[in-house]
Amino acid sequence: MLKQDRRKRAEGCLARPIPLPFAQDSEPGDRLDAGLNHPLHAHGMFAGHPWNLGVCGGFSSPAALELISQSDLILTFGASLNMWTTKKGKLLSDHAQIAQIDIDKDRLGLHRQADLKIEGDVAAVAAALIQALDAEKGIVPASVSWRSADVATIIDSKSNHRAPYQDMGSADYLDPRTFSKAMDELLPKARVVVSDGGHFAGWAIRYLSVPDQRGWCIPIAFQSIGLGLAAAIGAAVTQPQRLVVLAAGDGGFLMSLAELETAVRLKCAVCIVIYNDSAYSAEVHHFGPMGFSPAMARFPTTDFAQIARGFGAQGAVVRSLSDLDPVKRWIAEGSPGVFVVDARINPALEADWYREAFN
């Protein structure tokens, strides 16, 4: 019944098919006894696979950082190995052998020297690789298997959800990591996660899980914030069988606030999660350490829950996990329409990925 209702709310738009299982994309890695990872824009590609290391780069989990840096062979399909994917080159070992496959020969070795450069369509090269492995009847002896019990323990114990950190919450503010993990457990798994850009983004990327490659969208190719809400509306119209979860910063959401009326009018099923710290925090954490005053990047706290109700949506201000009860009720009702979660996060907490990338 819930699926049928969401299709009606899409006002006649066709629903997209659910993608093929991850096994279709992971077969070369499975044949090679390898770990699987992907750049940020391919988030969800190997979701559910037991040897999935997730995002490769500045948003990697502690497990991925450890295991990728130990790899002695990197087989890259269609990824340019730029500064974001390699953490400015620090993620890959200097001794690692790199085989790079890309349909555009000008991308081969562009950011990182490749030991083997193959110009070709990645699907065709992957199929040819599988044929070659079939002919050789496998090339990895069982005695040197990478997919071991020890590696499985690292993947589990050092995952984003299990890695330890000091909670920076208080009576007035949430720790965004603790809050994001709680939202991940609370929200339905049949979802599309859309992330706006900004200082907050790493928390959404690391802790809000996605079910597959069609469950992820991050519209930041122009390095601009404020594009998330429009993308979330598009995701809700094209995939009405899923709940859309938009993660946005308060500054970026204010830039696109008028589109909230569109989401409400189209009866989109969207949970808007706003990481509200009363600032353009990327500028605060970037220019403050340089000795510049961040005063111009700060602004009075906005009550997004009250604004949401004015637009005809539901909303709640969340300062602690106990404040999530209205969200739970909305989900129990089938997540009708738009719900805005105004999460008041600790403004003093600087994201580790941001500090590493820009300071």
Q: What is the DSSP letter of 174?
A: B
Lowest-confidence segment of 74-88, 165-179, 256-270 by average pLDDT: 74-88
What integer pLDDT is reported at residue 75 of this predicted model?
Answer: 94
What topology is assigned to 23-157 in CATH? Rossmann fold (3.40.50)
Q: Residue 273 pLDDT more than 60? A: yes
CA-CA distance, 34 to 151, in Å (whole number)?
11
Q: Give domain limits for the chain.
A: 23-157, 176-358
Note the maximum CA span of the chain: 66
Q: Tell me, yes or no, if the two domains 23-157 and 176-358 fold the same way.
A: yes
Lowest-confidence segment of 59-63, 126-130, 267-271, 341-345 by average pLDDT: 126-130
Q: Residue 162 pLDDT more than 90? A: yes
What integer pLDDT is reported at residue 349 of this predicted model?
Answer: 96
Q: What is the pTM of this model?
A: 0.89
Between CA 294 and CA 296, with CA 295 as vertex, the angle to 5 degrees is 95
Q: Are 341 and 318 in contact (CB under 8 A)?
A: yes
What integer pLDDT is reported at residue 18 of this predicted model?
Answer: 34
DSSP codes, 264-333: HHTT--EEEEEEE-SB-HHHHHHHTTTT---GGGB-PPP-HHHHHHHHT-EEEEESSGGGGHHHHHHHHT
What mean pLDDT is predicted for residues 314-336? 97
CATH class of domain segment(s) 176-358? alpha beta
